[in-house]
Each structure stands twice: as C-alpha cells, then as structure tokens.
Amino acid sequence: MTQATQVLMAFNHAGGAAKTSTVRDIGYELSQRGFRVLLIDLDPQANLSQFLGYGEAQPEQTVRNALMEYAELPDPVHIHGMDLIPSHLVLSRSDMALGGYSNSEGRLRRAVDKVRESGRYDFILIDPPPSLSKLTANAANASDWVIVPIPAKYKGLVALEGVREMLEEYTYTNENLKVAMFVVTQMDNTNHAQEAMQVFQAALGDQLAGPIRNRPAVYNRCQPEGRPVGTVPADAEAKAEIVSVVDTLLERIKP
C-alpha cells in the first residue's frame, strides 16, 4: 500500500451507540481488503479487546506507558488479521492521573505519530471510552478523522447536538480533525427509527452512512464468541451493511 497512514477514532459520548462493534467490524473489513490495520483499545472497559476474543491483557500491553511516560506504543497482538493494542482497567487510573501532567491531552499523539511515520499501517482505529475524558481527548488529538455512530433512537437524536459541540471543542486542539461520517446504528423497522433516520438525513446529508440494522441474533452471537460480524458466512446481510459503510468511509477519506 502506498497511501499515508490514516488515523481514525470512533466517538459518541453517549453509551450504547454500538461504537465498539462498529470499530471492530470496520477494521476487519478494511483488513479483508488488504489494508494493514492497527486497532487501539483506549477504553478501560476493554470491550473492543473482548469483542475480538482477546483475554485479559497485562497493563504493559496497553497504551499506559505511552500516556504516562511518553513511551512508544507496545508491540501489538495479531488477531483476526489485524493488530490490536488491548486495554486494561489500569487505564482508568491513568485517565485520572493525566490531569496532573503537562500536555495531558496530547501524549498519545506522539506515540501514534511514530507508528504513522514508520508506514507500518494503512489505518489506525482508536476506540476511546464513551465519555469526555482525558483518554478521549488524547484520541482526538492523535486522529485525522472521526467516525460517529448514532443509534436510530431518541437517544441518538438527543446526543447529536452534544456530539457536534464536542467535535468542535476537539478541533481547537487538533485543527486537522475532521468528521469522516456519521453511521446510523441499531436501525429497526419501527416508525420511531424511520423518523430518526429522516432527521439524520436532513441534518447530516452526505455525511451519513449506513444504516447498520439491529440484528440481535448476529451481534449477540459475535460478541461472546469474540469475532467480527464479517467472519460469520451465513449472515450475508449483516456483512453487506459493513461493506457499504466501509465503501462510504473510503470514499470520504480518500486522498
């Protein structure tokens, strides 16, 4: 691959937006297309690591030392055709401690930029916690692009303005940060979901991608089994939705 490394973070400050599963499945689809992908699990809950079937990590396998000591990123683990820097609950303590450090919101960027300069990856996807924390701010300052998952529910409508405000806030410290796309998640056949989709279409226009439908039989199976949706051959419709989202992503961020 000859393109420059693209660094993307997923962001929604409201929980339950399918943020982590979206990161997992986008990363996997990119890897299936031949791109070299690094996933960074920045959420102390370690859901991304668990959703990929990786067991409990050791603190030194996480970004902790990069945040606290300006160390380089640790060696990743290889899983499902991607590289992963897993997470651990220790990052919650790092998040609290960062407030007392200089450059508390820019420390991850130094480590990510070193990996970017190496040309080892085509895409680096960061999954921060669903909160306005120092960890999330570090992800924003290290990234080029933001993927915003928004559920086709009332909470998605309520969260939309808050998401926009916080994205504007993050661009004060990273003026190059741009929205790659808003991805509608958890879409179902209810009137409410259809109305939410219409509001999103009117408000976001060509920034909108998806929808990714609410498929409990698929997602509730993949998460405990620790594998991306695209690894389940029988679930062609679910895979096709991810393929479409990745098509939109690549169109939006192409050089």
pLDDT tens by residue, 14-73: 778 889 999 999 999 999 999 999 999 999 999 999 999 998 889 999 999 999 999 999
Q: Which residues pair with 37 in a beta bridge?
A: 123
The whole-model pTM stands at 0.93
Task: Give all domains of the chain, ordered by start, each with its CATH number.
Answer: 6-253 (3.40.50.300)
The answer to whether residue 2 scores a pLDDT higher than 50 is no
**What is the rounded distance in angstroms from the CA atom of residue 212 to the CA atom of residue 235?**
13
What does the pLDDT average to over 162-168?
83
pLDDT the model gives residue 82: 98
More confident: 13 or 49: 49
pLDDT higher than threshold 60 for residue 89: yes
CA distance 190 to 210: 17
Average pLDDT over residues 117-131: 95
How far apart are the C-alpha atoms of 35 and 44, rounded to whole Å?
27
DSSP state, residue 59: G
- The pLDDT of residue 1 is 38
- Of the candidates 89, 86, 111, the residue with the CA atom closest to the CA atom of residue 44: 89
pLDDT given at position 234: 60
Please report the pLDDT score of residue 255 as a whole number. Answer: 65
- The closest alpha carbon to 73, from 81, 64, 82, belongs to 64
Q: How far apart are CA 191 and CA 42, in angstroms?
A: 35
pLDDT at position 102 over 50: yes
185 three-state secondary structure: strand
233 or 164, higher pLDDT: 164
Measuring CA to CA, which residue among 182, 201, 198, 181 is closest to residue 190?
198
Average pLDDT estimate for 222-226? 88
Residue 154 pLDDT more than 80? no
Place 206 in a pLDDT band, splitting at 50, 70 and 90: confident
**82 is written with which tokens?**
């991607």
Biggest alpha carbon distance in the chain?
51
224 C-beta neighbours (distance < 10 Å), count: 10
